[in-house]
Amino acid sequence: MGAQAEVAAVEGGGRVAPRWIHPFQPFIETPLCLLALLLPPLRPAAPLSPAEPISQAYSLALYMQKNTSTLLQTYLQHQGSPFSDPGFSAPELQLSSLPPAAVSFKVWHALDDGERLSRAQEAFLALTQHLQLVGDDQSDLNPDSPILLAQLSAARLRAQGLLGNMAAIMAALGLPIPKEEDTLGLVPFGASAFERKCRGYVVTREYGHWTDRVVRDLALLKAKYPA
């Protein structure tokens, strides 16, 4: 995915700047609409200032942050007890394919901008793939719940949008953009229904944690590069 964005970074010209939204070739049709709504296209002639993409990414992250708990609640409600029991929490459940968002403050603070962004980039890349997987799982388990499926789909599109924004920031900052990886690998297909439910829970939970973290990341960047 990074190929085109890299080109943008190398060439540095505003001419290709809007192409950061394109890297997601498999999702090109639907995300385009959403991103077009969420983000006004960059002016081609504008110089590559990091402030604007940072601000846009920050707005999107804030917007996502508002919906993460709803997504998690909707998800849990559809999985039956004990998932749907009030106050359900299983922090012991983790996914090896998904980097955890939890990080000690010291470590986080010691990271430089590039590392921070690339970790978030990596995490959201994994999240988009996992959200797709969870969506597929749920269309088997809960085919009669369009609300849940729509929320999962929306979360995935937003994560993709955020990825695009972060790529633009990294391009503006002259940072290398990590290559797209298949983080899921061969994992999921034989999973049992319970595993799928747990997996979905971890994904929606980590989506929220990562969104919280990226809001902080971007707030820091925003302070550093004021408009």
Partner 1 sequence: MDVHLELRRPFQGLHSKRMRMTSGFRWLLATLPLLCLMSQVNGQKRGAPRELKCVTASFQVWDCSWKGHGTLYEVCIEDRSHSCYHLEKANIKIPALPPGDHVITITSLHEFGSSRSKFILSERNVSLIPETPEILNLSADFSTSTLSIKWNDKGSAIPHHSNVIWEIKVLRKKSMELVKLATHSTTLSGRDTFHHWNWTSDMPLECVSHYVRLRSYIDDPHFSGHKEWSDWSPLKNISEIADSPTKVFPQDRVVLVGSDITFCCVSKEKVLSAQIGQTVCPLIHLDGENVAIKIQNISASANSGTNVVFTTEDNIFGTVIFAGYPPDVPQKLNCETHDLREIICSWNPGRPTSLVGPRNTSYTLLESFSGKYVRFKRVEASTNESYQLFFQMLPSQEVYNFTLIAHNPLGWAETTLSVNITERVYPHTPTSFKVKDVNSTAVTLSWRLPGNFAKISLLCQIRINKPNSVQELRNVTIKGVESSSYLVLVDKLNPYTIYTFWIRCSTETFWKWSKWSSEKQHLTTEAIPSKGPDTWREWSSDGRNLIIYWKPLPISEANGKILSYNVSCSSEEGTQSLSEIPDPQHRAEMQLDGHGYIISVVARNSVGSSPPSRIASMEIPHDDLQVEQAVGMGRRILLTWRLDPKMTCDYVIKWCNTSRSEPCLMDWKKVPSTSNATVIESDQFRPGVRYNFFLYGCKNQGYQLLRSIIGYVEELAPTVAPNFTVEETSADSILVKWDDIPVEELRGFLRGYLFYFEKGERDASKMRGLESGRSDIKVKNITDLSQKTLRIADLQGKTSYHLVLRAYTDGGMGPEKSMYVVTKENSVGLIIAILIPVAVAVAVGVVTSILCYRKREWIKETFYPDIPNPENCKALQFQKSVCEGSSALKTLEMNPCTPNNVEVLETRSTIPKIEDTEIISPVAERAAERSDADPENHVVVSYCPPIIEEEIPNPAAEEAGGPAQVIYIDVQSMYQPQAKPEEGPDLDPVPAAGYKPQMRLPVNCAVSATAVEDDLGKTAGYRPQADVNTWNLVSPDSPRSTDSTSELEPEPLVIEPKHPPCSAFQKRAAADTVRRIHARRIPQQLFSVPL
Q: Does 62 bind partner 1 (CB under 8 A)?
A: no
Query: In this chain, which of 194, 223, 226, 227 binds partner 1, going by CB under 8 A?
Result: 194
Measured CA to CA, the distance from residue 168 to residue 17 in angstroms comes to: 8
Q: Does 96 bind partner 1 (CB under 8 A)?
A: no
Question: Residue 37: CB partners within 8 Å, gap ≥ 6?
Answer: none
DSSP states along 29-59: HHHHHHHHHHSPPPPTTS---THHHHHHHHH
C-beta of 197: minimal distance to partner 1 in Å?
Answer: 7
Name the H helices within the chain. 2-11, 29-38, 51-77, 105-110, 113-141, 146-173, 193-224
Q: Does 102 bind partner 1 (CB under 8 A)?
A: no
Would you call 168 helix, strand, or coil by DSSP? helix
Tell me which stretch binds partner 1 (CB under 8 A): 32-40, 112-120, 192-200, 219-227.
Answer: 192-200
For partner 1, the closer CB: 80 or 174:
80
Q: Does 87 bind partner 1 (CB under 8 A)?
A: no
Q: Binding residues for partner 1, per CB under 8 A?
A: 78-83, 85, 90, 92-93, 139-145, 192-195, 197-198
